[in-house]
Amino acid sequence: MSNPLNTPLEILGGISAEVFLRDYWQKKPLLIRQAIANFESPLEGNDLAGLSLEEMVESRIVLEHGETPWQLKHGPFDDDTYSSLPERDWTLLVQAVDQFSPEVAEVLEHFQFLPNWRIDDVMISFAVPGGSVGPHYDNYDVFLLQAEGQRTWKVGQMCNSESPLLAHPDLRILDGFEQTDEWVLEPGDMLYLPPRLAHWGIAQTECMTWSIGFRAPSTAEVVTHYADFVARFLPDEERYTDANMSPVSNPNYIRPEDIQRLRALISEQLDDDRMLLTWFGQHMTEPRYPDLLVGSDLSLEQLKETLDNGAVFTRNPTARLAWSHIQLDTEQAAVFFVSGNSRIISEHLVVLLDLLCSADALYSGNLQPWLNDAEASTLLCELIKQGSLECIDE
């Protein structure tokens, strides 16, 4: 269950979520010594290198002094890649490791003071001494958890798309870093960085850093995707109309009242709470690797039997779930977002929706009350069918 907003949180160095969100989130960096005391990484450099050999996994290596300066190589890699790397100055970065390692996904439990649908993934980097991806900025918030070894983190100026970059075909490395602070992070230490703050992490020893990154659609993405979504529901005959317009005195002139009609048309279509919620919920729950959602057909009878036999279901780490309330014509209902889709659910099932969203373990004990409810049990079977819930144990 979530903490009250004003409880001091260890993961935030003893400040509350309320203070963190007010003073730091999206505003300024925060260094948190021993955010996770005695942290021991469940993963080693070799495990990460192993993942980078997989076709499904997005991985990169940045070599500061490669065939070209700051050479970028894309995975999947093979054993030869690793045997040919120098002793210093390279970094392996693997995206969305939380999707492949439940132990890594567990770290997200510490961030329950933020909406789950804002979390993007846990990217993990492994670097040898001197390894760095260069000074840069990102357009999203990030918590950088030091998992192994030591890394120096320097922070600098706030940047934007006008900030000068080195000429590089793939990497956005800043041409100019105005350092304001510098810290050496040890295992368990964590650094929060707001979007667009210049930063530069340099490995002191062999080290591993976990980046808990957040999703924030760009305004351009919101505007274009939402407009496309709304347009799907608009028939061709819905058009700009100007019944009762006043006679024009100059036929070449666009008058303020013409624009006013346009504004009314746009706001009528775009400013719709139900459409906004539906699009946003679907967009923010789009899974990164939909191919990893592999379902199984299970009838209600089979589900009951499996649960009776001690089966435990959990949320597939690829599935992204969220819910909200929605106002229908005559009543309030819930809307459940499941990996880019949405469905209306009866209000009496909101407790189940919360259970499903946070589901670490669904078993006969906590599912029993729902198995005799037709809507709830259909939902459970469908979530299993499309792979959002998977059986981990019997």
Binding-site ranges for ligand SIN (CB under 6 A): 91, 125, 133, 138, 142, 199, 201, 209, 211
Closest contact distance (angstroms) between CB of 114 and Co ion is: 18
Instruction: Choose the one of Co ion, ligand SIN, none that binds residue 133, judging by a C-beta under 5 to 8 angstroms depending on kind.
Output: ligand SIN
Nearest to 203 by CA among 156, 149, 124, 138: 149
Closest contact distance (angstroms) between CB of 138 and Co ion is: 4
- CB nearer to Co ion: pick between 166 and 371: 166
The helix (H) or strand (E) run that includes residue 83 is helix 79-83
How many whole angstroms separate alpha carbon 52 and alpha carbon 54? 5
Stretch that binds Co ion, among 136-144, 154-162, 286-294, 305-313 (CB under 5 A): 136-144
Q: Which position's Cβ is nearest Co ion?
A: 138
How many whole angstroms separate alpha carbon 92 and alpha carbon 74? 10
With vertex at residue 381, the alpha carbon angle to CA 380 and CA 384, rounded to the nearest 5 degrees, is 90
Closest contact distance (angstroms) between CB of 194 and Co ion is: 12
Instruction: Choose the one of Co ion, ligand SIN, none that binds residue 91, judging by a C-beta under 5 to 8 angstroms depending on kind.
Output: ligand SIN
Closest contact distance (angstroms) between CB of 199 and Co ion is: 6
3-class DSSP state for residue 72? strand
Amino acid letter at 255? R
How many whole angstroms separate alpha carbon 19 and alpha carbon 29? 13
How many whole angstroms separate alpha carbon 251 and alpha carbon 112? 59
Stretch that binds Co ion, among 43-51, 100-108, 138-146, 286-294 (CB under 5 A): 138-146
DSSP 170-217: S---BS-----EEEEE-TT-EEEE-TTEEEEEEESSSEEEEEEEE---
Closest contact distance (angstroms) between CB of 97 and ligand SIN is: 12
Structure tokens at 39: 């942290």
- CB nearer to ligand SIN: pick between 30 and 359: 30
Q: Which position's Cβ is nearest ligand SIN?
A: 125
Instruction: Choose the one of ligand SIN, Co ion, none that binds residue 89, judging by a C-beta under 5 to 8 angstroms depending on kind.
Output: none
Judged by CB under 5 A, the number of residues near Co ion is 1
What is the DSSP secondary structure assignment for residue 377, as one 8-state letter? H
Closest contact distance (angstroms) between CB of 190 and ligand SIN is: 12
Instruction: Choose the one of Co ion, ligand SIN, none that binds residue 303, judging by a C-beta under 5 to 8 angstroms depending on kind.
Output: none
- CB nearer to ligand SIN: pick between 123 and 362: 123
Closest contact distance (angstroms) between CB of 88 and Co ion is: 21
Structure tokens at 295: 């379902």
How many whole angstroms separate alpha carbon 167 and alpha carbon 198? 17
Nearest to 318 by CA among 96, 113, 123: 96
Does 390 bind Co ion (CB under 5 A)? Our answer is no
Q: Which residues pair with 145 in a beta bridge?
A: 190, 210
Does 138 bind Co ion (CB under 5 A)? Our answer is yes
Does 141 bind Co ion (CB under 5 A)? Our answer is no
Q: Point out which residues bind Co ion (CB under 5 A).
A: 138
